[in-house]
Amino acid sequence: MPRFLCSLIALLIAALAWPASASQRAISFDDHAIPDSGAVALVVKKGLPALGDYATLDTASDGALTRAAKTAGFSGELGSVLNLPGVGGYEQVLLIGIGDQPLSTRVLEDVGGLVGQAAVNSAAPRIELLWPDASIPAAGAHLALGAALGGYRFDQYRTPKPDAPVLGEGEIVIRVADPRGSRTAWENDWQHVAEGVRFARDLSSEPGNAVYPEIFVERARAAFAGVANVQIEVLDEIQLASLGMRSLLAVGAGSQRPPRLFVARYRGAGNDEAPFAFVGKGITFDTGGISLKDNENMWRMKYDMSGAGSSVGALLALAKRQAKVNVVAVAALAENMPSGSASRPGDVVRTASGKTFEIMSTDAEGRMVLVDALWFVQERDRPRAIIDIATLTGSQVTAVGDEYAGLFARDETLASLLIDAGVASGEELWRLPLHDSYAKDLESPIADLRHSSGNRKAGAGVGAYFIGSWVAPEVPWAHLDIASMAWRDDPALPTVPVGASGFGVRLFDRLVRDHLEPK
């Protein structure tokens, strides 16, 4: 059988085998009123002051809520939750601590997230979240965003146990002062952000045997079906070769699964404006190649395509919410495997730009796929700014841990807009240096550059510097190293369950929403 037929059939089988997307509780909105039975979630301030719904329900239950809270040592601290099954006439009462700091959309999202997480482990068919405060417009939409993000689970590969109670199914009703405004803001806007995050999380959670470059492309195509003003372009290995993208091809050379370049272009601001570009590292599995990783944490490298998932997920969110902006998202997709056809340390690679580099370790593959993708997007789209996003280095994990992604930028304005969007979205960035001395570390005796320094100094910065060498100096550019942020280890955050985080989607959405879209 011809090879292309074989791969076509394999693709069809893979497509048919896709599990249905994970179940999540439906979200609806209603007036703020206290139901007299069922499952309710209510907020409590620090120190348990007798205020609002908490006071009403506490009185109605003869002080049962305060007694339970005191016994459990629950004091309403921000981010704390007390789960009380069977209080008075209620199946379940959830007390959500909100501390005593000023309210913000971030606090709302965390409250929603805590309810979403608690709802995963509840058999109550309907959980009602009570939010009496009317000071933040469309508060319900932010509660809903949090609930959708916190209630995310990836359970495609688990077989349900026949006799176990059904947990995490049903709905979450958000009871707010402006249910109509909240519903509109959710349906027209924030629900699409949640969907972009879910897209990114699903792909990062999928194992390497399920998602390889061609499947990433199929999943992305399916997600964009019917979405207006989006054009998709996919380059296969033959097209990549004819464009001279040998750096991307060199990473995929050891794998049975050919590389791809996936490009999605969204026009929400007419045909004249140059787009912003989000370029993501899309290594569907990173063994290290010939510079093989050791086994201990290798399983994690299924999420080495998280940057690609987030750049495409962000564009999905922007297109679905019809943001007034032009954006191009590029996913540089390859699988990094060792084999007789794999690249070796010491190999010299000519990139599509014509510039050459020497491979120091085949485990520094992220920068290799990114530089060809960066060349491509600059040639084709002439972007007004470029942000690349990548699980690039262990060095970033060491430097900033799992509170921040690393930000490297040559452009002060872009850097400060990104930091600001990080705070507003809760996906925070910490800026790290891009020192000119890194150029010396990247000198090669045989090629224009070498692709890493071979010592352990400033590894994240040297990687960023290499990538930046492929971006024209006049183009505002930033690089995000999300190695530590793409996967959340225990403990969960309110809006980030343990596992794939989708880090970057909310950040990019906020960047566009707060700074790039016309007001």
What's the burial of 272, exposed, middle or buried (CB within 10 Å: 0-12/13-18/19+)?
exposed
Minimum separation from the CB atom of position 320 to ligand BES (A): 29
Nearest to 281 by CA among 308, 245, 300: 308
The answer to whether 359 touches 346, Cβ cutoff 8 Å, is: yes
Which range binds ligand BES by CB under 6 A, 42-50, 97-105, 140-148, 362-370? 362-370
Instruction: State the Cα–Cα distance between residues 282 and 262, nearest whole angstrom.
Output: 10
Query: By CB under 5 A, what part of segment 356-385 binds Zn ion?
Result: 366
Residue 394 contacts which entry, ligand BES, Mn ion, Zn ion, none (Cβ below 5-8 A, type-dependent): ligand BES
- 366 part of the interface to ligand BES, by CB under 6 A: yes
Q: CA-CA distances (angstroms) from residue 386 to 79, 327, 373, 411, 412?
A: 35, 10, 11, 10, 13
- 400 part of the interface to ligand BES, by CB under 6 A: no
Task: Pick left, alpha or beta for residue 442 (phi over 0 → left; psi -120 to 50 → alpha; otherwise beta).
Answer: alpha
Query: By CB under 6 A, what part of segment 302-341 binds ligand BES?
Result: 304
DSSP H helical segments within 179-253, as ranges? Answer: 179-185, 191-205, 213-224, 237-242, 246-252
Q: Which residues are catalytic?
A: 293, 367
Which range binds ligand BES by CB under 6 A, 59-67, 151-159, 392-400, 497-505? 392-400
Query: By CB under 6 A, what part of segment 267-296 binds ligand BES?
Result: 286
- Phi first, then psi: give them for residue 199, nearest 5 degrees: -55, -50
Instruction: State the Cα–Cα distance between residues 393 and 481, nearest whole angstrom.
Output: 7
Instruction: State the Cα–Cα distance between residues 279 and 332, nearest whole angstrom.
Output: 8
Minimum separation from the CB atom of position 447 to Mn ion (A): 20
Minimum separation from the CB atom of position 105 to Zn ion (A): 33
Residue 88 contacts which entry, Zn ion, ligand BES, Mn ion, none (Cβ below 5-8 A, type-dependent): none
- 363 part of the interface to Mn ion, by CB under 5 A: yes
Helix (H, G, I), strand (E, B) or coil at 235: strand
The residue whose Cβ lies closest to Mn ion is 363
Residue 452 contacts which entry, ligand BES, Zn ion, Mn ion, none (Cβ below 5-8 A, type-dependent): ligand BES
Instruction: State the Cα–Cα distance between residues 325 and 515, nearest whole angstrom.
Output: 11
Minimum separation from the CB atom of position 437 to ligand BES (A): 17
Minimum separation from the CB atom of position 366 to Zn ion (A): 5
Sign of the alpha-carbon torsion through 169, 174, 179, 185:
negative
| Beta strands, E only, 98-195 | 126-130, 171-176
Residue 361 contacts which entry, Zn ion, ligand BES, Mn ion, none (Cβ below 5-8 A, type-dependent): ligand BES
- 364 part of the interface to ligand BES, by CB under 6 A: yes
The answer to whether 119 touches 25, Cβ cutoff 8 Å, is: yes
Query: By CB under 6 A, what part of segment 417-456 binds ligand BES?
Result: 452
Minimum separation from the CB atom of position 93 to ligand BES (A): 40
Pairing relation of β-strands 429-431 and 405-409?
A: parallel
- 351 part of the interface to ligand BES, by CB under 6 A: no
Number of chain residues interacting with ligand BES (CB under 6 A): 16
Query: By CB under 5 A, what part of segment 249-308 binds Mn ion?
Result: 286
Point out which residues bind Mn ion (CB under 5 A): 286, 363
Point out which residues bind ligand BES (CB under 6 A): 286, 304, 361, 363-366, 391-395, 397, 452, 459, 483
